[in-house]
Structure 1
């Protein structure tokens, strides 16, 4: 018995028409039979527990097919008329074929869910050793939005990168940094500014649905051209109000490239926010500067880098380590589910390790060029990291440790994502489901609870370094900023600062209220949370470790 059955209506109509045509020679007094063209019947498949039909039975069969030419591929959309059940059964078979933990997914009846709700539950419910969900990285995004940002680095918004301290009252929302040239940057909103109100709504304390809806609408505008009034408290205790109009924001992945003069020599520093295609040029320019200035130490500020393309991560790792240490070494090997020990279930190709890419890549063509990347050939690198440091960022740390480059970690435990996926479009939605685990040159890839800085590392997921809070009182790249200051001290002395804490982090009293009093005032009420970027589709996804078809040698 198959996992789906098709309606017999169309077949019955065809049989009836054939039977009415008659046949044979001779005259007949019967009048000719007039037939009326019928509209094709869209058949809906059915689910049967435990039986999985091939993905090809359902792919591109869409409840609402797209038409025309895909601007990102130049080809016609593959969509044909189908049903929501077709879309759900494709997700089900695709998950069963490619999901890393396919055997931990409950086979629930898709009839009980919308398409996106059905996808949301197609994941494991198991926990990591620390008790956190094993899969915190399951999501989807509108395909056009995903393509726009992943290819061009453009998104809609004000240009703020936010630190969400609390989404319920008393809320805390702090500016991490602003994108260069964005409306937020032009309004001169500094790092560390805390939101007090938006369009007159008390951001900190308003617990009404109307107030929260207004905050979400202003904080995450659907379109460019939305104007909102923000009131901020600055790190010196003063307040300021600015009117900002949203626009199309061009993401600048590499920022604050600096060469710092220290007693031990020149230290290179750069802030790196995301592994998207446009980052290649910025990384090359940064390392060209470091090579020209003869830096002897390097600080990579990955504290807000949620990941991205693994090929870029491989290139960055090469630029740190250089040709001798990476020669014939593996950047990362992908491990898929137990159905696919030697074959990539997404591409169908034999699994081959990813090397350290030493040349520039033509990402449009997926080809290596002959242009050699700059490199520093370092045996030690300092990484500033937080729980927002994820995925491809962690892959760089793991890959360098796999070739015995010492990675010193300053900050806090990373997000813990040794996993990744191939973004896959179907019917206008791009789906991200964990499909592989990455392991380094030494075969290590077990850091599901993150890399952890410690003065006495004992396990492979523990790195030498210091626990340091994020410091919002100083600009990123400022040697006096808490995390960078601690890094420079560790580089000079090999020891951590006694106390590094930021007066701008989660300082509720500075906002003019007491948390316990606020909670008492809300006693008996349900606390209504505002949205966060990872719960919306307006921003590029956090925790994004993306693989692409194998980068090929130029012929």
Structure 2
């Protein structure tokens, strides 16, 4: 296989047409009749973009389409899953005429819920060793929303939330506030708790209050909303209006701890807009001649594998990474000819070079929100003997990836491949276990040397054991009684926890 083909990930395409070799039916001609076209089922390529009449999703799609019926879109889904799904052998037999896949709302076909049910019921029922579903990641999403996610552009306030329960009450806490966002400009900070929105309490489950609260949290209309915030026992009233914003997914700094110069990289999503910041960060770390590096991936649900590759190359350096496999990509047995090795590459998604740091060991802050491409970053480095010590919690466990496929204005993400590192290590479907278990410390800003996970990482650099380091962090008097030793769940759609590949040229 040529190096040009192996480095195909430099292409910039976001969406792709269906891959593979497709049979083309022959027309009439001299000689015997060829019945191959009629003898086989039509391919997803042949069935693509035949859309349900009056579908609101097809109407918004930029792709040319022709009018069809809901049954046509289901035929495409069936063909797509059969051709591309990693667990195609385990697809259940379902009756596409069942009412569950022909949902009516007000006498009109509900395209979204019909296709969502059909897609979800087509996934494998297999479970992992600990009893969770093997495929808890395949998804469908409105293509407009998908494209906005890839571009880190959305209408919102610019914060991440975690949800938990304390004394039987729901608690909604800000885990992270993006720079230059409405939330940041309003003075909100990590650890703030949302008590109510527009007078509707987070714990009022009545239909009216729930509707008011949800509209304020994820607005569908342009209007200011009143937030009541709890901060360190004090109640604050804040007015915000959601805006269309581009999220800055990277922050970085150098911590001077004694004689150590520690690079701290907060990285929240492997999306194209993050690359310029990543290159700036790694360039700055090299200029500052850092002795150690902490990469904070606790909230990074994944994204483009090419970005994880380039960042890993930057960490390991040219001498250790050049010519080595970052990840072996393995498809189902019917697509084994498409298996390939993704080599370490200093050029990322946007074909910009990352600097070479040449570090022998790094510390990664992780949690159940660390998924997919983030796990590939960790696994890829371990494959070439760069030590990666995990601090925090067990990762989400997603060694799978996909090529996003648009059909009729809906993007489909069925898992197509599994990745392993240069040593053929992977298959971490139950997650990667940390060397030091530390809870998310919402009482401190991310990047603060006293924040729980980062504090433990620094103490580990200084030679302390996990129990010593974690014990000192948890015993800190100014953290006691604040209720912020968080065991909450990151409030993020499951479909954002993914690893996606670039289109082949």
Structures share fold, TM-score greater than 0.5: yes
Alpha carbons of structure 1 residues 549 and 507: separation in structure 2 relative to 1, 3 Å: closer
Q: What is the 5 A alignment of 1:72-83? A: 77-83=63-69
Is the radius of gyration larger for structure 1 or structure 2?
1
| Residue of structure 2 in register with 1:270 after alignment | 265
Figure out how many residues of one structure are paired with residues of the other and give that number: 441
**Conserved? CA contact 1:329–1:355, under 8 Å:** yes
| Residue of structure 1 in register with 2:460 after alignment | 490
Alpha carbons of structure 1 residues 394 and 167: separation in structure 2 relative to 1, 3 Å: farther
| Residue of structure 2 in register with 1:391 after alignment | 372
- SS in structure 2 opposite 1:287? helix
| Residue of structure 1 in register with 2:399 after alignment | 418
Cα deviation for residue 207 of structure 1 reads 2.3
Kindly provide the CA deviation profile for residues 308-354 of structure 1, in whole angstroms up to 9, marking residues without a partner as x.
000001000001001111121111111111211122xxxxxxx3211
Cα deviation for residue 490 of structure 1 reads 0.7
Q: Distance in 2 between matches of 1:309 and 1:507?
A: 31
Q: 1:534 aligned to 2:493?
A: yes
Kindly provide the CA deviation profile for residues 130-179 of structure 1, in whole angstroms up to 9, marking residues without a partner as x.
111111112111112211331x3211111111112259962111101111
| Residue of structure 2 in register with 1:481 after alignment | 451
Q: 1:406 aligned to 2:387?
A: yes
Q: Distance in 1 between matches of 2:318 and 2:141?
A: 38
Q: What is the 5 A alignment of 1:494-505? A: 494-496=464-466, 497-499=469-471, 500-501=473-474, 504-505=482-483
| Residue of structure 1 in register with 2:342 after alignment | 354
| Residue of structure 2 in register with 1:191 after alignment | 190
Q: What is the 5 A alignment of 1:238-249? A: 238-249=234-245
Instruction: Give structure 1 stretches of 5+ with no counterpart.
Output: 1-50, 344-350, 363-367, 454-464, 509-530, 536-540
**Conserved? CA contact 2:272–2:349, under 8 Å:** no
**Mean Cα displacement is larger for which, 260-269 or 159-168?**
159-168
Instruction: Give structure 2 stretches of 5+ with no counterpart.
Output: 1-39, 102-113
Q: 1:110 aligned to 2:96?
A: yes
Q: TM-score when scaled to structure 2?
A: 0.83
Kindly provide the CA deviation profile for residues 477-513 of structure 1, in whole angstroms up to 9, marking residues without a partner as x.
01011111111001111412243446555679xxxxx
Q: Distance in 2 between matches of 1:53 and 1:137?
A: 27
Alpha carbons of structure 1 residues 395 and 507: separation in structure 2 relative to 1, 3 Å: closer
Structure number with higher helix proportion: 2
Q: TM-score when scaled to structure 1?
A: 0.75
Q: Distance in 2 between matches of 1:504 and 1:247?
A: 32
| Residue of structure 2 in register with 1:439 after alignment | 420
Alpha carbons of structure 1 residues 166 and 433: separation in structure 2 relative to 1, 3 Å: farther
Q: 1:321 aligned to 2:316?
A: yes
Q: 1:173 aligned to 2:159?
A: no
**Conserved? CA contact 1:322–1:377, under 8 Å:** yes
Q: Distance in 2 between matches of 1:357 and 1:110?
A: 44
Q: 1:226 aligned to 2:226?
A: no
Q: 1:339 aligned to 2:325?
A: no
Q: Distance in 1 between matches of 2:335 and 2:470?
A: 49
Q: Distance in 2 between matches of 1:481 and 1:506?
A: 11
Q: Distance in 1 between matches of 2:409 and 2:374?
A: 28
- SS in structure 2 opposite 1:248? strand
| Residue of structure 2 in register with 1:430 after alignment | 411
Larger relative contact order (Cα-Cα within 8 Å, sequence gap ≥ 6) = 2
**Conserved? CA contact 2:327–2:342, under 8 Å:** yes
| Residue of structure 2 in register with 1:41 after alignment | none
Kindly provide the CA deviation profile for residues 28-85 of structure 1, in whole angstroms up to 9, marking residues without a partner as x.
xxxxxxxxxxxxxxxxxxxxxxx95422342110014789x9999xxx6231111111
| Residue of structure 2 in register with 1:515 after alignment | none
Cα deviation for residue 180 of structure 1 reads 1.1
Q: Distance in 2 between matches of 1:60 and 1:397?
A: 38
**Conserved? CA contact 1:65–1:79, under 8 Å:** no
| Residue of structure 1 in register with 2:497 after alignment | 543
Alpha carbons of structure 1 residues 125 and 244: separation in structure 2 relative to 1, 3 Å: same
| Residue of structure 2 in register with 1:127 after alignment | 127
Cα deviation for residue 229 of structure 1 reads 1.2
Cα deviation for residue 262 of structure 1 reads 2.0
**Conserved? CA contact 1:165–1:506, under 8 Å:** no
Q: Distance in 2 between matches of 1:433 and 1:546?
A: 10
Alpha carbons of structure 1 residues 156 and 549: separation in structure 2 relative to 1, 3 Å: same
Cα deviation for residue 271 of structure 1 reads 0.6
Q: Distance in 2 between matches of 1:507 and 1:258?
A: 24
**Mean Cα displacement is larger for which, 97-106 or 213-222?**
213-222
- SS in structure 1 opposite 2:364? strand
Q: Distance in 1 between matches of 2:347 and 2:218?
A: 39
| Residue of structure 2 in register with 1:55 after alignment | 44
